[in-house]
Structure 1
């Protein structure tokens, strides 16, 4: 089976910023993403969880995009414009996909 190179971008951001981020992605031409809740974790400020320590309005989500490598710069510029002034982490990884026409 033929595989095709792609990029997987995961943006972890405050849930209240989700709509602003997805609007920025749309304006950058990104046509698909998945959004997952972040249930808890640990970072510079210590451990936290959605239950009791962080309210629904201040929780985190992950927005996951898989795109063609040549689209990465445009996506990163759009995402950084939103994440730059808020809590957020952006990671990029090389992946392979089966149906390249979907991305």
Structure 2
């Protein structure tokens, strides 16, 4: 089966910034993405969990995008415009897709 090169970008961001990030991605021409809840983790500030959090301020989201390699810089510029001044992590992985026309 033929595969096609792509880039998988995962952005971990505060829940309250999710809509702003999604709007920026759509404006940048990203055709699709998936938003997942993040239940906890560990980072520079130590271990954290959503347990016991009240309100939207305590939650985190993972936004996963798969794009063609030539669209990567546009996506990253859009994401960085939102993540720059907020808690967030952006990772990029090379991947292969089966249906390139969807990306």
Normalised-by-shorter TM-score class: over 0.9
Q: Which residue of 2 aligns with 1:76?
A: 76
Residue aligned with 2:12, SS: strand
- Quick check: 1:50–1:56 contact (8 Å CA) kept in 2? no
Q: TM-score, normalised by structure 1?
A: 0.96
- The Cα RMSD (Å) is 0.8
Query: Structure 1 regions of 5+ residues with no counterpart?
Result: none
In structure 2, the gaps of 5 or more residues are none
Any residues of structure 2 matched to 1:1-103 within 5 Å, and which?
A: 1-52=1-52, 54-58=53-57, 59-103=59-103
- How much has 1:31 moved relative to structure 2? 1.4
Structure-1 separation of matches of 2:75 and 2:29: 8
SS in 2 for 1:37: strand
TM-score by length of 2: 0.96
